[in-house]
Every structure is written in C-alpha cells, then in structure tokens.
Structure 1
Amino acid sequence: MSETVRSEELQRKYAAERDKRKAARGSKEEDYVRLEKVIDPDAQDPYKAVEPREPLNDDVEVTIIGAGWAGLMSAAELRKSHRKIRILDQAGDFGGVWYWNRYPGVMCDTASVVYMPLLDETGYKPTEKYAHGPEIFAHAQRIGRHFDLYKDAYFHTRVTDLRWDEAAKRWRITTNRGDEFTSQFVSLGLGALNVPRLPSFEGMKDFKGDWFHTARWDYSVTGGNPEGAPLDKLHDKTVAIIGTGATAIQIVPELAKTAKKLLVIQRTPTAVDVRDNGPITYDWWDELTQQEGWQQIIYDNFLDLVEEYKVGNFPPEGTVDLLDDGWTNIGISFMEKIRSIEGELTPEKIKAATIEWDDEMQQRIRDRTDEEIADKKTADGLKAWYRRWCKRPGFHDEYLETFNRDNVELVDTDGQGVGRITENGVEVLGEEYPVDVIIYSTGFHYNRNASKDAFFDIVGRNGVVLRDKWKDGMLSYMGYFSRDFPNLFFQQSVQAAFLTSNVSQNYAEGSRALRAVVDHTLDAGKTTFEASQKAEEEWVHMIETEGEVADDPECTPGYYNNEGKEIGLEQKRSIGYPKGKKAFFDLVKDWRSQDELAGIEIA
C-alpha cells in the first residue's frame, strides 16, 4: 500500500478538484432536463402492451399513486385494516424503478435483506447478498400477489390532475385513461428516483446514432434482455456511456463484454470499494427468521451501524454486525477510530480523528484502484479526490478491473464534463470521439420536493396549488402532511427520516403512519384529517433552525450538495429530522400509538 497522503496536501487537492468542477458547472444555465420533456411519457411500454379498459367513474376509499416500494408497502399495510384501495401507476406492473430500470448488471447497493421489503411477511429469502434487478422486480410482483393487490391495481395509468373537492370532502382524480373518479384519501408515493434526468448538452438532437437513458434501456439497440442474455448487437459498435455514478459502475462491466469499443466518459469518479457479492450465507438466518417481525431487527441493526454515528449516537460496544457489508463496515471503522481516542473526547479530538479516519478510508480505496488497474494514467483518473460522504459511496467487484480490457477506454473530462454532442459522437476537451451509440447514465432528479416531481398539479382547499405553496421548499408536518391538503399523505422522506442509504426503509414506518391516520379518522366516524397550522409551522421552523444542510465546502459538486450551487431556503428545508433517522422513526412510533394523533385535526 502506498504512503498515505498527508491531510494538508489532501485539502489542497480536494479544493483544486472541487473548484474546477464548480467553475465548469457555473458556466451552464441548466445542467439537466426531465426525460419526459424529451420522450413522451405515454410512449409505448417496451415490456408490456397496454391493455384496453373502461374508464373509472366511481368513488374509492384510499387511492395510492405509485406502485413501487412506497405504494406496495402502503397498500400492504392498509390491507391489514381491510381498507378499500386503488393503486395507480404509469408502468405496466408493480416495481417502480425496478420495473423501468432493467439495464444489464442492475442490482441493489444495500444488502438485499434490508433493501427488499416485507421479506418476513412474504417468507422470501433473497438468493444473493445484493440481489440483481430481475429478482427484485419479481419480489415486487410477489408482494402484489401475497397481499392480493393486483385486483385493485390499474397500470399504464398516469394521473393528470389531483384536486380537492371541499363540498364532497373527496379528491377528484383524472388520468390519461379517461378516468374521472373520487377518493376519500390519497397516498402519494412517487418514490425517490422516479424522474430520470438528461443532460442539456449542446447538439444532442444532432446525433445520428442510437441513444437512450439507462432508465429506459433499449435492448433493440444492444441486443440481450433484462434476464442477462449477452448484448450481442454491440460486437461491431463503439459505445459511449456518459456518467460514472452508481448506475454506470454496474453497467460498464456488462457493456465491456461485447462492445467493439467502450468509452467511459467521466466528469467525477466514484470511490468504488469491494462489493463482495454472492449467495446469502448469514449464520443467523435460520434462527432469527423464526421471530415474528425479524426484518425490523435487521432495519434497526443497519441504522445503528450506518447512520447513528452521524448524529453522535454509538450503539453499545460489541453490537453484532448482522449484515457485514460496505455500509456497515464504514460505520464500524469510524466508531473504532473514535473509541481509540485517548483521554477526554473533546470536539477537537473528535474532529481530528474524523479527518484522519476519512483520509485513511479514501486513500485505501485509491490504493485499491492502483491494485486493480494496470495502466497508471487510467488508475489515476479513476481516483476520487473528495471526502467519503461528499458523494454516494460505490461498491462493485468487477468495475475497476474492467478498465484492463483492451476494448475499454476511460475518457476523463478533467471535471469539465462533456463539451457537446456532435452528429457522429461526443466532444470532450475539444476532441471528438466518434461513436455509434450513446448511453446517458446521468441519474435522476433526487426527490427533494414532491410537488415538483409529480407529473400533475395537486390542488388543495381554496384552489391552493402545492407547487405554489412549496415554491421555496416543502412546508409539511413530519414530511407526511401539509396544511390545506386534507386527506393527502406524502409517502416520502424529506423533512422526515430522509434515510438515503436504504431508501425503502423510510416507507416501512411511513406506511404504518398512513394506516394510523386513516384508521383514526374512519374508526372515529370522521371524514377528514389534516395537519394543524401550528404543527406545520413548528415542524418547518425546527427543520430550518436545527437542521444542517450537507454543504461541506470541500465537497465536489453533486446531488448531495445542490450540484455545488448556492444553498437557498428550499435546500435548507430539503433535509431530514435533525436528531437522526432512528430518532424520527421512534417519534412516529410514539405518535401513532397515541389516542389522539398530535398535530392532526380530525373532523
């Protein structure tokens, strides 16, 4: 292992890498556009034909918009109270991003047993420590069958308007299928990654070859299929993949197997650590899974080791790591570093130990890059020069070694990004790279404001439009409710737990909160629930005054820090509960156990 670079030198290096990327980003007015602005959202589904049906013109108790994890978990929970539900989604089946994201190599990047929900209730054991996409999609379908949700699901159905009718005390819902029906309650579960984004590069429309976004993989161009068949149409093709984030590190090894030439175009590298995937061999499996609600034990263990140290809460020494994965190893190594401090734990000692730990962690990953890649220039180009939590950590077992193949080339833009797209290829730093296919691995608009991520207007009492109310950021109570939008539940994580390392866990507690408020309302013989004005104002004030925005001045631009742009009021409101994820989940558990749900007006 090479000698660890001193922290002072790292700070200068980090600053230089950050500054040139901020300068490059600052010269562009708009970096990304939503994919549906380029591709018709009602375009033909490549995976399933649209089945004709008669429009819906009735009334339903609870409508769930979105059939990914948020919608599935909400519906499963409401089934326990025998509520009459309806599920709407523009996809052709359950799964959300796992319906659309069928790119080669796709897998979850947190352990299957915490990422895949309702394992205890469905009795399913994942086959891999990090399950691949087809297995995860199949589990979404399994949940649908287990809870008998298919009979209440309407797929290939896109909501076009959601509007509160004060006289009827109902939400009026219209869709692209001609539906016009009412619903007493609505749960909005759009998911954190439902809006693919495309870069706004000059000349994109001029490219004469094939192109697509990873969230809408085109197997007619590449050959192969979502089940893993070889991409056999790329043997004579030069392919450019733009982006090196969490998605690209899964795709690159698969493209490299068949493409004549693969160009990996990078603005900022991901710090890629070992994934160590394989069959599940947990020695605790047989015993622990005999307990009712065993998955909650795994959830709590994950939070203890991955998230709690960020708010200064350490689990007891000797806490067993049930998952033993990259995320939990990060937390354990940090806690060991802090516990090794001699004498009093002063803020100065903690800060020094944190920096030392971060330096060692990132240098170890940079050293791994040298060990895996033969060409020094390529290895240097793939090294991440920023602190550990500036970007989402990456894990993969084949990504780095793929760059040893003769048909793979790293095109490092030196932080400047793509210059423009030409008729024949991609221009980087003034040089044109001719290609046959361009694949945009440019991610999603990460859910920070549900009013903007929705494909439709949400109009509440007295004509209040949610986009207008939230134009300067979310105004909510617990992230779940918003004043003037009665009987509307936001199944999401902003101003709530905002657990980003394992997104699906947010919905476990959210679905229980949804059931609690619906049950309280109907069991009391009432009609509506709504956050009180006082509860909402106090919650938002707490978020603004006690919360901290992830705005490390050393961080390179990314979605964690608003792409390096100025942090305004909206960003200050787009965070989680300041006391931590586990504290929020405990707060909600206590809240829903009360005879009266504090902060909620039931009428």
Structure 2
Amino acid sequence: MLDAVVVGAGISGIYQLYRLRQAGLSVQLCEAGDGVGGTWFWNRYPGARFDSESYTYGYFFSRELLDEWSWSEEFAGQPETERYLNHVVDRFDLRRDIRLGARVSAAVYDDAAAAWTVTVENGERLRARFLVTAVGPLSEPYVPAIPGLAGFAGVWHHTARWPREPVDLRGKRVAVIGTGSSGVQVIPHIAAEAAELVVFQRTANWCTPINNRPITPERMREIRRTARTIHRTCQETPGGFVHRPLSVSALEVGEEERRERFQRLYDAPGLTMVLANYRDITTDRAANAAVTDFLRGKIRERVKDPEVAERLIPTDHTFGMKRPPLEDGFYEVFAQEHVSLVSLAEEPILRFTPAGIQTAARHYEIDVAVLATGFDAVTGAIRRIDIRGRDGVRLDRHWEAGPRTHLGLQSAGFPNLFFVGGPQSTTGNIPRATEIQVDWVMDCLRHMADHGHRYVETTPAAEEAWLAHVESTVRGTVLEDATSWAFGSNVPGKPRVYQLYAGGIPQYRARCAEAVEAGYTGFVFG
C-alpha cells in the first residue's frame, strides 16, 4: 500500500509530490493528461499566458531552481510555462512517480483499514493511506448545452482543451463564444488569421492592458538577487502578488489626482489596476464608482464605433467584482472590418446547425467554433470523481448545496482526504495560496506519524464555522453582488455560493497556523 495518491500534475500537485517524496513517503501522482502542467498543459490556445508575474507564480522552494531558470517575459506564455514545469519535474526526478493518462474516476474510503482505494478510468486500482486532490480551481471545462453542437459539420474546440497541433484558421469563418479571460486572450490572435470572426458575448468584462514586456538578463539577475524578498512580499499581500494597495482612500484625494493615479495604473503591467489601487476600490461603493467610470471612458476612447463600445461596457458588475481579464489589443480588434460583435442579451443563440449558428435574429455560417465558455470552477473537477467517505457517503452529495470544508483542507466524513487548491481556500495568485496548504498537509502527516495516528478528519462544527467565516469575507464588499464563476453563476443549476476565500493570503495562513498551534482545532485524530 502506498502512503499517498495525489490527483493532478499542475503546479500544486507537482509541489505536493515533491514534498511527499522529500519526506521519504511512497506516492503516486495520477494525471489525466499525457503531459504535466495542469492548466498550462490543457490551455494551449493562442495567446494563453500568465496574469501573475512569471517569477511570482513559479516555485521558491529551491535556490538552485531559481538560479538556473530564466523567464523571458514578465507574463510568460503557455509554451514557456509548460517547459518550466517539465523542467521542474525532471530536475527533481519526479517523473518516475507520475502516471500520465491516468484519469481518476473514483475513490472509496475503507474505514477498517483507514485507507483509500483509488480507481483509474482504465480500471487500475491504487491503495493509499492518504488521498490529496490537486486538480485546480479552473480545470473542468464548461460546455454550455447548446442544441445541435453534435451535428455541427465544422470544427469546434474549447479553449481549455485546445489541441497540441496548430488549428488552421487561415481563410476560415470563425465564431468565438465568450469574452472572459480566455476569450479576451484568444480573440486578437484569431482575428489576425480568420477571414471572418464573429464574437458572441454573454457578458462584457472590465479588461485592462497587460502591458507585457521582455525580461532582460539584467532584470533576471535582479529578480534572482531579490527572490526571497519577492516571495515574502507575495506572502504578505492579500492576493499573493508583488503589488500592494495604497494606504489612502480614493475619496481622500481630489478628482484630478485620482484620475492621474488611475492612468498610471492603467499604463502599468499586470493586475496593478485592481491590486495597487486605492485601498477601498473594492470595499467602498463611491470609490469603486470612480474607478469604474474611468474604465468606462477608456473603453469608449479605444473602441471607435459607439454602439460596439457600449456593448463592451459591462452593465451587470462594476470593476473589482470579478478578476479582470488582461488584454493586449482586444478592444482594437473590433475596428477591423472582418470582425463583428454579437450581444447574446440582444441576440441569443438558439442552436448550432450543420453549417453554423442560428441566433434569434439570423444564421451565421461558420467553419470553426471556439468555445471560450470557461469552467465549472473550483468544485467541478473534484465532484466529477466519485469520492465516497465514511459509510459510503458521496462527497458530491455532501457538497450539494455548495462546498463544505474546514480551512479548505478537509470535509467532515472524509478521513485522510486533503484538498489542495480546492474550495474555500484559494485566492489571487494560486501557487502562493496552495504552497501554504501543501506545507500544512506535510506538517499534519508528520504530526500523525509522531503520535501514531492512523487517520485525521474535520468535524461538521468546524465546517459550519469555516463556511460562516468564508461568507463574512465577501459581505459588505463589491464581491457580494457579483455574478461570476467564483459563485458558480456561470453554470446553470449550480448553487450560488462563494467558492473561494476573500480574506487574503496572510489571514488564511494565520488561520491555518492558529489551528495547529491550538492542537489542530477542528480536526479529530484516531
């Protein structure tokens, strides 16, 4: 019997495997894909790249790794990130414990043995004391139930399952459905190749420029020199980034000074507009209105057709309610004659036909459909596994009204099952949150070994308390009224529950540490 099975070979699963191996435990990592990388294996559509600075997203556990890897851009593209994660796997000899093409379909807890039986889709079974899911919050694609898709005679791809082979779009009539982060990234690249491009937009987003730039050798040397400071800054900021909010309110300065600040942030790289802004742009509605009005003006300035500009201005949320997509020439695309924008609020899709897409207003003949329709986020990938805990209780049923965990690490009735990068814990720059969880899991396993415990599980009371705390982190903020994947709003029938953690990384780390210092409060060992 193994000590542990890890599910998912993304950045969090790879780190979990590294730490388990470092501790001398026997472990197998099961990955559904035929390569490692998780998000950066599956999402290989043109334009896919970080919105976190490359050097803040990668690993900090090895000085040698920091010294030998050079990032080429502030915000690396998918190919470079996939190479990086493969380099890490080979650098630390992790590949021998990774099973590729091994999608986990079920996991059943054996109470008598205090162990899990994990079933792979090919029928193979693994036995392990501990099971760790590291499947990622954005890994289960959401394909809307549009009638007729199966009968579409052209080619269609979801951005989250883009093929390895280049998709030839030259001279093709292409439709993109969705203008979230993936759509915003892929649309300019498709527009550069397609003969015609129709963009179907369900809801507009407040997109800000990525302002990406190369990392020079001199800049990379400085990053290496200050790596520990960068890591410490990420650990101390709410979102796990190098950006800190200003200490002043947007309402404490004059309008001219405020707009100048907004412009500097708009011209700066990455997520600075939301992360390095005035401290209250997501908590005070008047401050939020000021930045939202500024961005509304930017869209009208960049999109020359006034009717198109108004369609691209969100009306269902203000800036900061959702993580803003970072764009590179997205708004300018709509000035091109072969590109058109369809608002699904005005002209809903009725069905696919063999030759294209029929809306309530007309028929669009297309050769290629690109579904940039996002994910069944946070819980989707975990719930698709048939996980059964004590007395055969299904995790899917336990989470029927929304995820229930303590610290985002365990659910009541599921001993020796840990979630890394799962619900009610992840926030912002995901690797900076999940490294806290991986390290916590390792400390817990060490504690169990030292005290001769066979299992650990959380309690229903601890779940209730954590659920109340998670809900309190969004109450009174602009997040409270958001309709987004963070609430499951994009998936019909999914309960509207905040699935992430808005308390920030420092508070999350403190809560995890407090539980340990108080004798693992909320956890029961046996």
Q: TM-score range by the shorter chain?
A: 0.7 to 0.9
SS of residue in 2 equivalent to 1:334? coil
- State percent identity of aligned pairs: 25
Cα displacement (A) at 1:601: 2.6
Q: Tell me the distance in 1 between the aligned counterparts of 2:491 and 2:21.
A: 44
In structure 1, the partner of 2:49 is: 107
Match of 2:385 in 1: 456
Match of 1:559 in 2: 485
Say if 2:224 is the partner of 1:289.
Answer: yes
CA RMSD of aligned residues (A): 3.4
Partner of 1:187: 132
Correspondence for 2:510 among 560, 564, 586? 586
Task: Identify the match of residue 277 of structure 1 among 185, 206, 212.
Answer: 212
Deviations 1:24-63, CA, capped at 9 Å, x for gaps: xxxxxxxxxxxxxxxxxxxxxxxxxxxxxxxxxxx11111
| Distance (Å, rounded) in 1 between the aligned partners of 2:480 and 2:7 | 38
Q: CA deviation at 1:511?
A: 0.6
Task: Indicate how the Cα distance of structure 1 residues 268 and 541 shifts in structure 2: closer, same or farther if over 3 A, else same.
Answer: closer
How far does residue 107 in structure 1 lie from its aligned partner after superposition?
A: 0.5
State the Cα distance separating 1:251 from its structure 2 match.
0.7
Structure 1 position 142 matched with structure 2 position 87? yes
Cα deviations by residue, 1:126-176 (Å, 9 ceiling, x for unpaired): 211110000111111122123221010111011222111122221112212
Q: Could you tell me how far apart the structure 2 residues matched to 1:595 and 1:553 are?
A: 32
Matched, 1:516 2:451: no
1:57-206 to structure 2, matched below 5 A, reads 59-118=1-60, 121=63, 122-123=65-66, 124-206=69-151
> In structure 2, what is the equivalent of residue 488 of structure 1?
417
**What is the match of residue 501 of structure 2?**
576
- 1-structure distance, mates of 2:178, 2:211: 23
CA pair 154-389 structure 1, distance change in 2 beyond 3 A: same
Equivalent residue for 1:261, pick from 177, 196, 213: 196
User: Judging changes above 3 Å, is the alpha-carbon distance between structure 1 residues 591 and 126 closer, same or farther for their aligned structure 2 residues?
Assistant: farther
Distance of 1:297 and 1:415 partners within structure 2: 48
Which stretches in structure 2 are left out of the alignment for 5+ residues?
Answer: 251-264
Tell me if 1:331 matches 2:275.
Answer: yes
- Where 1:183 maps in the other structure, the secondary structure is strand
In structure 2, distance between residues paired with 1:474 and 1:532? 14
Corresponding position of 1:364: 294
Counterpart amino acid of residue 10 in structure 2: G
Cα deviation code 1:279-322 (max 9, x no counterpart): 136988645634674442241354379798699999xxxxxx9x
Equivalences, count = 506
Deviation per CA, 1:266-287, whole angstroms, max 9, x where unpaired? 1222222121101136988645
Change (3 A) 1:77 1:380: same
Unaligned regions of 5+ residues in structure 1, if any? 1-58, 226-230, 315-320, 339-349
Detail structure 1 runs of 4+ shifted over 6 Å in the superposition.
304-314, 549-554, 564-568
Q: CA deviation at 1:370?
A: 3.3
Tell me how far apart the structure 2 counterparts of residues 538 and 134 of structure 1 sit (CA, whole Å). 42
Asked if 2 retains the 8 angstrom alpha-carbon contact of 1:113 and 1:298, the reply is no
**Are 1:163 and 1:171, in contact at CA under 8 Å, matched by a contact in 2?**
yes
Report the secondary structure of 1:160's partner residue: strand
- 1:45-60 matched pairs, under 5 angstroms: 59-60=1-2
CA separation of 1:551/1:198 partners in 2, compared to 1, >3 Å: closer, same or farther? farther
For 2:204, the aligned partner's letter is P
Give the equivalent residue in structure 1 for 2:256: none
Query: Which amino acid in the other structure matches residue 440 of structure 2?
Result: A
Q: CA deviation at 1:256?
A: 1.3
Query: Secondary structure at the residue paired with 1:289?
Result: helix
Determine the structure 2 residue equivalent to 1:243.
178
Shift of 1:510: 0.8
Moved more, 200-209 or 275-284: 275-284
Aligned equivalents of 1:279 and 1:327: distance in 2? 17
Deviation at 1:106, TM superposition (A): 0.8
Cα offsets for 1:516-575 (capped at 9, x unmatched) = 1111112333322222454344434544677639786875x432454389999x544635
Question: 1:430, CA displacement in angstroms?
Answer: 1.6
* Partner-residue secondary structure (3-state), 2:143: strand
- The range that moved more, 474-483 or 181-190, is 474-483
CA distance in structure 2 between the aligned counterparts of 1:283 and 1:330, rounded to whole angstroms: 28
Q: Distance in 2 between matches of 1:305 and 1:184?
A: 32
What CA distance in whole angstroms lies between the structure 1 residues aligned with 2:493 and 2:174? 37
Q: Tell me the alpha carbon deviations over residues 436-459 of structure 1, each in whole angstroms, 9 at most, x when there is no partner.
A: 111111011111x36x73332111
**Contact 1:171 / 1:182 at 8 angstroms: preserved in 2?**
yes
Map of 1:600 onto structure 2: 523
Q: Tell me if 1:403 matches 2:334.
A: yes
Aligned match of 1:436: 367
Residue 378 of structure 1 corresponds to 308
Q: 1:159, 1:455 within 8 Å by CA — same for their partners in 2?
A: no
3-state SS of paired residue (2:314): coil
Bigger radius of gyration among the two: 1
Shift of residue 371, structure 1, vs aligned partner: 3.2
Match of 2:403 among 464, 469, 474: 474
Cα deviations across residues 202-257 of structure 1 (Å, max 9, x unaligned)? 3323322221211222466xxxx3xxxxx6x3333111111111001111111112
Aligned residue number for residue 169 of structure 2 = 234
TM-score normalised per structure 1: 0.75
Report how far residue 66 of structure 1 moved.
0.9
Q: Taking structure 1 as reference, are residues 530 and 453 closer, same or farther at Cα in structure 2, changes over 3 Å only? A: closer
* TM-score, reference length from structure 2: 0.86
Q: Would the alpha carbon gap of residues 575 and 330 (structure 1) be closer, same or farther in structure 2, given more than 3 Å must change?
A: closer
Say if 1:305 and 1:332, in contact at 8 Å, map to a contact too.
Answer: no
Aligned mates of 1:278, 1:97 — CA distance in 2? 22
Contact 1:493 / 1:576 at 8 angstroms: preserved in 2? Answer: no
SS state of the match for residue 512, structure 1? helix
